[in-house]
Amino acid sequence: ADRKPFRIFSCTAITFCIFCLLSCKVDRLGSVLRPVKKEESKVWLRKSQKTFSQPLSGGSSTLDFQSMSQPIDKYMALRDLEANDPDMFHRLLQQNTTEILPFVYTPTVGEACQRYHELGIKTRGLYLNVSDAGSILKRLQAWPRQDIKVIVVTDGERILGLGDLGAGGMGISEGKILLYSAIGGIHPSKLLPICIDVGTNNKQLLEDPKYKGLRHPRIRKDTYNSLIEEFMQATKAWRPHVFVQFEDFANHNAFVLLERYREKYPCFNDDIQGTATIGLSGLLAAMRSSGGNLSEQKFLFFGAGEAAAGIANLIVMGLMNWHGLSEAEARERCILFDSKGVVSAERKSSLQVLEL
Identity of the residue numbered 32: V
Is 298 a residue of the active site?
Answer: no
CA dihedral 131, 137, 139, 140 (to 10 degrees): 140
> How far is 57 from 169, CA to CA, in rounded Å?
22
Within 13 Å of residue 113, how many CA atoms lie on the same side as its CB? 31
Identity of the residue numbered 41: S
Backbone angles phi, psi at 27, to 5 degrees: -75, 125
The reply to whether omega before 107 is within 30° of 0 (cis) is yes
Q: Which of 176, 190, 211, 261 is catalytic?
A: 176
Give the full edge-to-edge strand order of the sheet including 341-342. Answer: 299-302, 334-338, 341-342
| Nearest to 182, CA basis, from 42, 65, 7 | 7
First to last CA, the chain: 44
97-104 and 71-84 are packed helices; what angle lies between their axes, rounded to 10 degrees?
100
Strands 267-269 and 191-197: unpaired
CB 249 within 8 A of CB 273: no
Is 176 a residue of the active site?
Answer: yes
Give, as one character, the DSSP assignment of residue 238. H
Q: Which of 75, 105, 211, 261 is catalytic?
A: 105
Listed in sequence order, the residues at least 6 apart from 10 whose beta carbon sits closer than 8 Å to its beta carbon are 105, 106, 176, 179, 183, 270, 274
Q: What number of other Cβ atoms are within 10 A of residue 234's Cβ?
A: 19
User: Which residues are part of the catalytic machinery?
Assistant: 105, 176
